[in-house]
Structures are given as C-alpha cells and as structure tokens.
Chain A
C-alpha cells in the first residue's frame, strides 16, 4: 500500500524547535518530489516547502524561509522538516505529500494524515 506517515509533532514553546518526519512506503520514494503542507485548525491549506527527488533542490514559502529546512534520506525512505524559531502562528497540522510525476508542481496525489504542531507558552 502506498502510504505516508508523519511523526514528530507536539507542544512547543515559542522560539523552540522540532523535527518532523514522514515515512514513505509502497512506492519508489527516491523518484518523487515531496512537499510539506500545513493547515491551521479550522483554516485552509498552506504550502510550506518542497524538495526534489535527490534532495539537491528545495523551495520554501516566504513565511517559513530561513526558519524551516526540508531534507530527505532516500535510503531510509524518509522526509524531514526541521523547524526552528517556532511562532504561535506555526500551529497547524503538518502533512507530507507526494508530487505527481509529469504534472505541475502543485499536484499532490498521496497525502499523509498529518502531525499536529502546537506552539504555545
């Protein structure tokens, strides 16, 4: 079964750090662009970042640039999101998603269920 499973979320104080993980299974992980998308409680989807198949290229939303770092370990079929200098408005469910081969950069065909990050003092 093609699957993405996130972990690493939790309650963090403002200014803190977290590392989110996304374990991929059931497909050739190293062949796909991967993305992180977040959704604050009761709000819409917001794209966070993307990484190419070999990890050499990353892009970030302006709101997280300089604070978030996306990486991947293709040998472990795992995606990461290192989050620093957390702010209250980073509170959201963070989901990883797989890019569709041959489609635009905003097409994601497999999504994880997400991991909740709560930033509060």
Chain B
C-alpha cells in the first residue's frame, strides 16, 4: 500500500483536460517537492514533471504540475491518444528516509 495516494484510473476524450491527484503527508509532500512520471506500456518510466511544476526539455506544455500543502496534482490538457499511460507521483519522505511513489494512475483516452 503506497503512502502517496493516487486514483487508480482516470479517463477523458481527446482534447479534454484530465487531472490526477497525489495525496501525501507532512513528512513527504508537505516538506519536499513532487515529481511525476509517465510510463507507456512496456517502456521505462519517463520524468514528466520535476520540482512540482517544472517540465524537462521535450515534455509538451500540455502537461503541468502543482502542489499545495500535502497534495499535488498533474494536469493533462488537450488529451491525446498517445497520453494513454500509467502516471506516478513521487516524493522523498523525511521519516522513512527514502523515496515514495504513488500507486499509479492509468489514464485512458476514450
């Protein structure tokens, strides 16, 4: 059971906006930045958002991240078929002295 809680699934039609939440606690999201990963089927995870809201080079600006208190969210605007993937949030936990991943959210484009 992940300490960072994500909804198991989310969906939308092409062009819609989808938001994925990631809920943590004061020892992880509350004190540290959040990163988001996209994992396409059968591939290695890809860093999508780092430091809560920063996009690595090459990541489309359709992807955006935010953080407030002990929660974070990833938004995908202008949903496209190639966005079908699993999405994971991650944060360092000061109590565990380790990295926590959320359980993952499977995004389906209807």
Q: Which residues of A contact B (CB under 8 A)?
A: 35, 37, 44-47, 50, 59-62, 95, 100, 103-109, 111-114
Contact = CB atoms under 8 A, between A and B. Distances in A.
Interface residues of B, number: 29
Contact of A44 (B35, B44, B104): B104
A44 B99 contact: no
Contacts of B2: 44
Contact of A109 (B56, B86, B88, B100): B56
A109 B90 contact: no
A107 B34 CA distance: 8
Interface residues of B, dominant DSSP: strand
Contacts, number: 78
Interface of B: 2, 32-35, 37, 39, 44-47, 50-51, 54, 56, 86, 88, 90-92, 96-104
Contacts of B97: 59
Contact of A103 (B33, B39, B96, B103): B33
3 closest A-B pairs by CB: A47-B99, A111-B44, A106-B90
Contact of A47 (B46, B56, B98, B103): B98
B91 A106 contact: yes
Contact of B37 (A45, A62, A113): A45
A107 B88 contact: no
Given A103-B35, A104-B33, A114-B44, A45 B101 contact: yes
